[in-house]
Structure 1
Amino acid sequence: MTSQATSIPLAEGVIPAIQQRSDYAVVAITKHGVEIARRLQSQFTNADVYYMSKFCRGDEEQRSIQMFEGSVRLLFPALFPAYKGLIIIISLGAVVRMIAPLLEDKKKDPAVVVIDDRGEHVISVLSGHLGGANELTHEVAAAIGARPVVTTASDVQKTIAVDLFGRRFGWTWDAADKLTPVSASVVNEERIAVVQESGERQWWTHDRQMPDHIQVFERMQDAIDAEPNASLIITHRLLQPEETVLLNNGVVYRPKVIVLGIGCNRGTSAEEIQSVIHETLLELQFSLQSVKAVCSIDLKKDEVGMLDTCSRYGWDFITYTPDQLNRVDIEAPSDTVFKYTGAYAVSEPAVKLYTGNTQLIVNKRKSGNVTISVGMLHY
């Protein structure tokens, strides 16, 4: 792919036709800025990345990165009304000059956050409270290991931003319909239950103790018994009927903790692979949204069905050599598999290598042309 194939020409006086896929846009114009933008894209989901075409790497189309040619100033009139927030890796002074003509009202303007070219500071610039820039600043800073800079004197709440919760870890939510009422409960300091069964534990980013009205539970039943006004549920499981009472005013977040090991015959279709994955996860009562990666042997690194499946769902595709796989203890080594692949097993040792765990949820299950193993990441 060439840069010309995907770049947006910015002609004077013409608003470019951008492709908005997410709520946030990341913009960079320097070599170091591009590195930060690409790193941020992999750690902070729900963000579209824009950078200058001269920094083309060749994988922009695959990563849905949009490039542009010309002055970045001409890009902002298109980005400003389209996105909930802009994360800009350009000097603060330059950003202020470029967005000044676009400012309308604090109730309408998007959140604007600036990152310095070395990625050391993340600065809340515009719409700190109503637009969520202050919380966005903390989340972005945590994602890239930078220092958040928030200057509004009234920024004293320091609580959970419901719509950004776990975003830097790649968490997604099941449905957005309760984001607003749950956010209201958090802001109004009502009784909040955070139920965490899996996923990263370092989600509290503030420099104060968690307030008393927010309680963290490891078990659903304990949260139900507490009768909270609102719930934030972090789990890879599908909720059982008796647990859905927490969704009366609750949001379910899906951490990326499920790892799939896949082995298949050459030429197995993506449809068959995906069918086995869906059936297996449904039996386990696990959410597809919590899958992080698919692992296999390097002989499968060009397997079309595997590549299409991972591309469709945005999963990492990791492969290992036969020598790496053979170093892992497995339940039932297969001479037949060794004959064709050089490894005594594929799906089971691949998941064990990725997760670092010797115990799997599913060691090995064969269905048609597909063998699948299921493991979990523990934090």
Structure 2
Amino acid sequence: MKTEKIAILYLTRGGGRLASRLTPLLPQSTVYPCKGTLRQTIVSCWQEYDHLVCIMATGIVVRMIAPLLADKRTDPSVIVCDEKGRFAISLLSGHIGGGNGLAEKIAAGVGGQAVITTASDVLGHTALDLWAEELGLVVADKPAFTKVMGKLVNTGRITLYAGFPLPPLPADIVRVDHPEKADLVISCRSKKYLGAVLLNPRALVAGMGCNRHTPAEEFDVALAEACSEHGLALQSVRSLASIDLKSDEAGLLEFAKTRGYHIDFYDRDQLNGVDGVSTSAAVLKATGAKGVAEPAAVLAAGGGRLLVKKMKWKNVTVAIAEISNPLSVSPNEPAL
């Protein structure tokens, strides 16, 4: 789990005293006295830290951070405290940035009051953006998703469709039996549904074979072409798989690193143990395995369904399998 970095900024002696009380509560924090240097300190901390705790007036903070705001998914959270510690205000990135939780932790630690203004928290509804992030779901249409969040706040419930098992749902998210009835659809497909927002799970595994010295760009294009041709969402790809003979293939490794994909490698006996996949005499002669892309994809998907049989693009073969129960697997871990 990532250790989140916290910057504590203060202007006055009273702010410094509160900062001293906060550091034992937040051992991963760094304290910055900012008298005369506030603007440059905030600018330098903006990209380096996950959270900024500002012990000063809210108006000062608003004026300082306004030019820096970009996106709630990348901006740090900002918590504003008065120097007595009576209030901890979650000012920015309360949900995805974790500001609400940090404000509550600070308030509890110093005997103050957390000030949370996000509607879902105030009304007791599910924070959809956090819920989706925790499940590793990628939002295909962010503006439309924001409208669904508004519907949940205004009506108290939304509907969801998924074609595979789901973990227990919050009470205000109701599962339905058809995508046309849903506000949200969880699917690896790129197809859009009328009136519904698509959420792509990290549920696909790409098995890949290649000729020696294949450049990284060919893997990139081959995978994108395979997904596009079969109506699959590229952002649903979780990981890659291949034969162990390719564990030193520079182009494959570079492609995986650039895209952030984990790679599983399997030996020929493991690959030959997979039934129902395409075979190749040429591959068998070269590697001792009857096939690479298809059996590797199936193995890495935990025995999941093969969606795309092997396709060839220049020097690369690609096959894609779907993990049968993707939301039971951490989005950052390979399927077992």
TM-score, structure 2 normalization: 0.64
After TM superposition, give the deviation of residue 356 of structure 1 in Å: 2.0
Structure 2 SS opposite 1:312: helix
* 1:305-344 paired onto structure 2 within 5 Å: 305-344=251-290
Residue 55 of structure 2 corresponds to 100
Counterpart-to-counterpart distance in 2, 1:261 and 1:106: 49
Of residues 273, 292, 314, the one that matches 1:368 is 314
8 A contact 1:263–1:372 mirrored in 2: yes
Counterpart-to-counterpart distance in 1, 2:128 and 2:122: 17
Q: Percent identity?
A: 28
Of residues 229, 233, 236, the one that matches 2:185 is 233
* 1:35-46 paired onto structure 2 within 5 Å: none
Q: Deviations over 1:119-156 (max 9, x none)?
A: xxxxxx9545x646467669999xxxxx9x99869856
Residue 180 of structure 2 corresponds to 221
After TM superposition, give the deviation of residue 168 of structure 1 in Å: 2.4
Structure 1 gap ranges (5+): 1-23, 30-50, 53-70, 88-94, 114-124, 142-146, 224-230
Q: Deviations over 1:224-272 (max 9, x none)?
A: xxxxxxx2332211224xx2333xxxx4322100111011111223333
The answer to whether structure 1 residue 73 and structure 2 residue 31 are counterparts is yes
Residue 210 of structure 1 corresponds to 171
8 A contact 1:111–1:126 mirrored in 2: no
The letter of the residue matching 2:238 is K
Structure 1 SS opposite 2:152: helix
The letter of the residue matching 1:343 is A
* 1:48-87 paired onto structure 2 within 5 Å: 72-74=30-32, 77-78=42-43, 86=50
The letter of the residue matching 1:321 is D
Counterpart-to-counterpart distance in 1, 2:101 and 2:323: 23
What is the count of residue pairs matched by the alignment? 269
Structure 1 SS opposite 2:155: coil
The letter of the residue matching 1:339 is K
After TM superposition, give the deviation of residue 377 of structure 1 in Å: 0.9
What's the RMSD between the two structures over aligned residues?
Answer: 4.2
Structure 2 gap ranges (5+): 8-26, 33-39, 66-75, 80-86, 326-336
The letter of the residue matching 1:235 is S
The answer to whether structure 1 residue 27 and structure 2 residue 5 are counterparts is yes
Residue 37 of structure 2 corresponds to none
After TM superposition, give the deviation of residue 308 of structure 1 in Å: 2.9
The letter of the residue matching 1:318 is D
Counterpart-to-counterpart distance in 1, 2:254 and 2:100: 31
Q: Deviations over 1:140-192 (max 9, x none)?
A: 99xxxxx9x99869856332323333212332222322344332222122552
Residue 356 of structure 1 corresponds to 302
8 A contact 1:139–1:164 mirrored in 2: no
The alpha-carbon distance between structure 1 residues 163 and 82, as it changes in their structure 2 partners (threshold 3 A), is farther
Counterpart-to-counterpart distance in 2, 1:195 and 1:262: 31
The letter of the residue matching 2:149 is S
331-340 or 346-355, which deviates more: 331-340
Residue 182 of structure 1 corresponds to 148
The letter of the residue matching 1:295 is A
The answer to whether structure 1 residue 282 and structure 2 residue 228 are counterparts is yes
TM-score, structure 1 normalization: 0.58
Residue 260 of structure 1 corresponds to 206
After TM superposition, give the deviation of residue 100 of structure 1 in Å: 2.4
Q: Which has the larger radius of gyration?
A: 2
Counterpart-to-counterpart distance in 2, 1:140 and 1:285: 39
The alpha-carbon distance between structure 1 residues 339 and 160, as it changes in their structure 2 partners (threshold 3 A), is same
Residue 20 of structure 2 corresponds to none
The alpha-carbon distance between structure 1 residues 326 and 210, as it changes in their structure 2 partners (threshold 3 A), is same
Counterpart-to-counterpart distance in 2, 1:106 and 1:160: 28
8 A contact 1:77–1:102 mirrored in 2: no
The letter of the residue matching 2:167 is Q
Of residues 113, 124, 129, the one that matches 1:158 is 124
